[in-house]
Amino acid sequence: MPQDRVFLVVVDDSPERAVALRYACLRARKSGGRVALMRITEPVGLQEWAGVGALMQEERRQEAEQLLSALAAQVQELTGGLPLLIIREGDAVEQILEVLAEDPRISILVLATATEGGPGPLISALSGRHAGRLRCPMTIVPGGLDDAELDRVT
């Protein structure tokens, strides 16, 4: 069913994130689907004082929540619906694969290529050595598309 279709966008700090997000929003709007935003934070390394590590972990989580809240407003404006918000800590590839395995509503992973150099580390890993572990299609959007081009291809 279309309303069950969820487009997962990984919210990293790359400029291409905006392209992947807009693409997912436009596809969700046109297909009656929904967008999920996933932010993956780096794990806090070993700390001499446990309290410092816990404080750093909490700060990263708060930053992730603020970023996702800001992007949720953009998603709602483009799609008319609220996105699913996911925050995980750890290795990005492993966390993406875990979320895909855990949530059967996610039917498409949307990533955008880097505008310079290779496709980017997530695309390389998920289309290379981890491709067999994906349980849904991955849409790779050219990271250099502008809004008009995205409107045209969706």
DSSP output for 10-35: E--SSTTHHHHHHHHHHHHHHHT-EE
For residue 56, what pLDDT is reported?
A: 83
**H-type helices in 80-118, by residue range?**
92-102
Domain limits, the chain: 2-153
For residue 1, what pLDDT is reported?
A: 45
Task: Please report which helix (H) or strand (E) contains residue 41, including its range.
Answer: strand 34-41
The tokens of 98 are what? 């875990």
For residue 45, what pLDDT is reported?
A: 64
For residue 117, what pLDDT is reported?
A: 83
What is the rounded CA–CA span in Å between residue 75 and residue 29? Answer: 10
What is the rounded CA–CA span in Å between residue 23 and residue 30? Answer: 11
The CATH superfamily assigned to 2-153 is HUPs (3.40.50.620)
Contact status, residue 111 vs residue 138, Cβ threshold 8 Å: yes
- Which of 128, 133, 143, 117 lies closest to 23, judged by CA? 143
This prediction's pTM: 0.90
Contact status, residue 37 vs residue 75, Cβ threshold 8 Å: yes
The tokens of 33 are what? 């689907």
For residue 42, what pLDDT is reported?
A: 86
- Which of 89, 82, 53, 86 lies closest to 67, judged by CA? 86
For residue 57, what pLDDT is reported?
A: 85
- Block mean pLDDT (10 aa), the chain, length 154: 80 94 97 97 69 81 95 96 96 97 96 90 94 95 95 94
